[in-house]
A and B are shown apart, each in its own frame.
Chain A
C-alpha cells in the first residue's frame, strides 16, 4: 500500500515537470526566435530547416529600422510619455486612494463604486468623443493628448487603496494630535511606508502606457510623434515587409520591458497577488 503511493507520487511529479516543461518551451521559445530574427536577414525567417541560430545582421537591421521609423525619436516619445504618465498618475491615484481608505466623507462609497464600475466600460466607448475633444481644442498630436486621458486609472486607485487600508489609523490620529496638517501627514508619514505599493502600482502604470496602442494610433498624426507600438504597427508593409527589421523592432519593444519586469517581478507579482486576493 505504502509502495503504491510512492510510485504514484513519482509519476505525479514526473507528469508535473513534463507539463511545466512543455509550457515553458511554449512561453519562452517565441522570444528566443524573435531575438534570432533580429540578427538575421528577412528571408532567413522562412527557411527549411528553420533558422534557429543568431546571424550577423544585427547592425544592418537596426540601421534599416532607424531609417524607417527613426528609432531614437520613437523611443524618446514612448519613454517620455510613459515616464511622465507614471509620475502624474501615481500622484492622482495615491492621493485619491488614501482618501478612500482613510477618511470617512460624504459620497465616498458612491464615488469609489462609480470609479470601479467604470473599469467595466470598454475603452472604445470613450474613443470617439476623446478624439473630438482633443481635435476641438487643437490638442491632437501632442504629448498632452497621449498622457492626459488615462491619468485617472481606477485600477491603480484600487491597488493603492488596498495598501492604504492596512496602514494603522492610530498613527494618523497621533500625528493629528501633534498638529500636523493632512498633506504633511500624507507626504511625511504615510507615503514613505508605501514604497512597495508605489513600486507595484508604477509598474502597472508604466506597462499600461508603454504598451498602449489604440488611442495613440488615433491621436497621433505625424511620424515624429509616434510611440513605439504605433511605429511598430507601420512596419508590416502592404507589398514588401522587411522581417529582419520588424523583428528588430519587436525585440526593442520587448526586451527592455522584459528586463524591467524581471528586475521588479517580486513587486509586480505581489502587487497582482494582493489585488486579486481582496
Chain B
C-alpha cells in the first residue's frame, strides 16, 4: 500500500518539474524583471518606472488600441459565423456533414506563418483579391498599405483561419443537446429561429464562454499574423502588444520594458476572462 501512496508523485514529477522550470519560474521572473532596469551592466530595482514609462509611450497605446479594435471586431464575427455553421452542420436534413466539417476545419491546420504569408501575397495591391474585386467593380483596395484596411486584412485572415476551429467546438456542444428538446419545442409551435434563441443559445452558454476566452487569449497574444502579414505597418497601424513585446525584447534588447508590456497582456487576459465569466457563466 505504501507504494500506492508514493506512486502518483512519481507520475506527476516530470510534468511538475518541467512546469516549475519552464513555466512558473519564467512567469515570476518576468514580473520581477518588469520592476527592474538594466543600467551600467547590471539590473537594479526601479519600482513602477517601466509601467509609468508605458503610460507616456504612444506606440504602446497604439498597440493596445489596435489589439482591442481587432479583438472587438474579429472575435464576435468569428464566433457568430462559427455558431451559424455549426447549427447548419448539426441539421438532420443535411448530407455530406463529415465532408463539410473537415473542409471548414482545414484552415485551422495550417501554420500561422504559412497562412499569413499566403494572405500577404493575395492582398498585394495588384494581387488576387483586388483582381477578383475588380470584376464586381470594386477597388482596388489598399489592403496592406492603408492603416484601416491593414487591420481589416488581419481580421479577415484571422477569421479565415479560426472560424472552423470554433465551429467544431460548438458542434460538439450542439450534439449534446437532446433532440427531444427541439421536438418538444416544435410541437409547441416554435419555429427554427425561435428554437435557435431559446434552446440552442442557452445550452451553448458554457461553450460560448470557453470559445470566447480561448479567442481572447489568442487575440491578445497576436503576433505571427502582424509579423508576417504587415510587419506591424503601415506606420504602427497593425502593431500589437505581442509584436511590441518582441520588438522591445529582441530588437532593442530592453528586457525589462518588454516584460512590463507582457504583464499588461497578463492583466488584460485575466480581466477580460473575468468579465466574460461574469457575463456568460452565471451558473458555474
Residues of A within 8 A of B (CB): 9, 12-13, 16, 19-20, 23-24, 26-28, 30-31, 33-34, 37, 45-46, 48-50, 91-93, 95-96, 98-100, 103, 105, 108, 111, 115, 118-133, 148-152, 154, 157, 176, 181-183, 186, 207, 210-211, 213-214, 217-218, 228-229, 232-233, 235-236, 243, 246-247, 249-250, 253-254, 257-258, 261-262, 265, 269, 272-274, 276-277
Which of B5, B100, B131, B164 interacts with A50 by CB under 8 Å? B131
> Are A254 and B245 also in contact (CB < 8 A) when A33-B128, A152-B15, A272-B168 are?
no
CB within 8 Å of A: which B236-282 residues: 241-242, 245-246, 249-250, 255, 258-259, 262-263, 265-266, 269-270, 273
Neighbouring A residues of B88 by C-beta, 8 Å: 16, 19-20
Neighbouring A residues of B106 by C-beta, 8 Å: 27-28, 31, 258, 261
Determine whether the beta carbon of A176 is less than 8 Å from that of B105: no
Nearest Cβ on chain A to B229's Cβ, whole angstroms: 10
> Are A24 and B22 also in contact (CB < 8 A) when A128-B33, A176-B4 are?
no
Determine whether the beta carbon of B173 is less than 8 Å from that of A277: yes
Nearest Cβ on chain B to A183's Cβ, whole angstroms: 8
Question: For the complex, would chain B's binding face be called helix, strand, loop or mixed by DSSP majority?
Answer: helix
- Max chain B Cβ within 10 angstroms of own Cβ: one of A105, A121, A125: A125
Bound form: Cα–Cα A100–B8 in Å: 8
B110 within 8 A of A: yes
Residue of B with least CB distance to A252: B114
Neighbouring B residues of A183 by C-beta, 8 Å: 7, 10
How big is the B interface, by class? 35 or more
Neighbouring B residues of A33 by C-beta, 8 Å: 118, 122, 128
CB within 8 Å of A: which B1-56 residues: 3-5, 7-12, 14-16, 18-19, 22-27, 29-30, 33
B201 within 8 A of A: no
Number of A-B contacts (CB under 8 A): 276
Bound form: Cα–Cα A265–B15 in Å: 28
Neighbouring A residues of B109 by C-beta, 8 Å: 207, 254, 257-258, 261
A-B contact pairs, 5 of them (CB 8 A): A95-B15, A122-B266, A127-B262, A261-B106, A273-B175
> Are A213 and B112 also in contact (CB < 8 A) when A16-B94, A99-B12 are?
yes
Determine whether the beta carbon of A229 is less than 8 Å from that of B113: yes
Determine whether the beta carbon of B113 is less than 8 Å from that of A232: yes
Bound form: Cα–Cα A132–B192 in Å: 57
Determine whether the beta carbon of A124 is less than 8 Å from that of B221: yes
Neighbouring A residues of B263 by C-beta, 8 Å: 125
